[in-house]
Amino acid sequence: MTRTALLFLLATLLGVQAHAQQPAVPTDQGPVRGQQRGEVRRFLGLPYAAPPVGHLRWKAPQPGPTWTVPREATTFGPVCTQVVVGLFDVPGETKGDVKGSEDCLYLNVYAPAQSTSAARLPVMVWIHGGGFTIGAGSEYDPSVLVQKHGVVVVTLNYRLGALGFLAHPGLDAESAEGTSGNYGLLDQQAALRWVGRNIAAFGGNPGNVTLFGESAGGMSVCAHLASPASAGLFQKAIIQSGLCASPNNTVTAAQASRRNVAYAARLGCRTGGVACLRGLDARTVATTAVPGLRGLGNLVWSPVYGTSLLPRTLGEAFDTGAFNRVPVMVGSNHDEGRLFISLAAPAGKPIQLWQYWGASGLLVGAAKNGRVLAEYPGRSFSTPALAFATVFTDAMFSCPALRVSRSLSRYVRTSAYEFNDPQAVTTLKAPADLPGLGAFHSSGLVYAFQTPIVGLGDPAQFSAQQRRLSDEFSASWARFAGTGDPNPTGRTPWTPFDASRGNVWIFRPTGSSESTTFGQDHRCDFWSGLGLN
């Protein structure tokens, strides 16, 4: 045997021995064996439900598989079927490609290396964003959160796009309640129930679960706050850039079902029966667009309302107190819209004034556009791109977040915040007609997780001030998960939101503090008067 072969054999034997020393953790489906990296144990690719394929496509998630021999939980499960949209530069991906699988209902558990079933650590369950059409739990590494703050973190996949949110008359007819859609939310609930049954074995406290998410994940958190079926599945909630009260987020299941008849026809299924739809390959379903839909902010594949899962819109639920009453953190970024403008701008060409006028009209409607352009005149901004980015930020994110805080704070402790690093780290490049990306949509995630996120940024880029900001921002999320109070120790108190004061905690690299001018800064009285939030 050659020296190289001997070394390889020795390394293999040592690896097997080290792996065998990892104890299996029991779950209600069977034992699982993960791997330890540094001070964190990772259990990857755990199936929390049966693969939603064949006759289970567009059905509520069913119980997952069982096993008796320890399952090796060392690799991520497949991501859910999705079209690569090319928002970020990801190695090996090309815009328009389809990746993933319908067999995708997997979650991942990260726990401190020394935690035992007696530890009862706070649990944080992460719901990824991506407009309900892209993303995966595996894109986020919570190892630093786990190691630094002594929490157990779960990331998960859920069905996306039409496969996750199709409402259709044929599916309505199958349902006992006569409505369809929201399968992705049902997946999330199934994952939360899995956490409730099993997380204690990983050192987590099933009675102290914080649901947290960003963008579509943040809207998902809002949906679970509003869903009677999610009652008791979590005890705290963090909503980051959630779009929960933004315009157009009020589509009923009945409206979506009627709309999607044309979508089914485009797929070649004109009879209304679901057998044709279930017989299509996932790629065709994922790549076929809904005909006739226009307008910015139109959430084509997203939660629908008027169902037993979501009997009320999010705004109605929060305004009337008909939601699951747990402590909540509500946050947004100072420059949310700059990312969307950067991605939507013609390649290499600045946005013209007439394009700003037209895009604003698509966002708010022609009848209200004149008032918006008078409030945000193009001449008041250095470029039309910045004008529209500001409109988009205020109308779709900042003021809706303030409205959510006002509504929730009447019933539960609510902590409102804004992430505002004017030069947030990123691998993205701003177009020439924007003065940088600022605190753009999703920019706070690298600061919260403190690990690299492909396409967004890397903590290795932090300056000393940004490192301190990241430590503070991340710790506030973990502290809230533990106690329901995000207050930074030894700093000016972050007081619960008071609608009469409009107080919002502003995270800045130069020093974080409370502000009572957030509403004025984002012109929220104007948007409220316009009836858009």
Point out the residues that are catalytic: 215, 336, 441
174 in Cβ contact with 199 (< 8 Å): no
CA distances from 365 to 127, 348, 387, 389, 518 (A): 31, 28, 17, 17, 25
Closest CA to 497 of 377, 396, 412: 412
Distance separating the N- and C-terminal Cα atoms of the chain: 73
211 in Cβ contact with 128 (< 8 Å): no
Q: Which residues of 214-238 are buried (b: 16+ CB within 10 A; e: fewer)?
A: bbbbbbbbbbbbbbeebeebbbbbb
Q: Which residues contact 3 (CB under 8 A, 6 or more apart)?
A: none
Long-range contacts of 33-39 (CB under 8 A, 24+ apart): 33/70, 33/71, 33/72, 33/73, 33/74, 34/73, 34/74, 34/109, 35/73, 35/74, 36/113, 37/143, 38/113, 38/143, 38/147, 39/112, 39/113, 39/114, 39/147
Pairing of strands 236-240, 71-72: unpaired
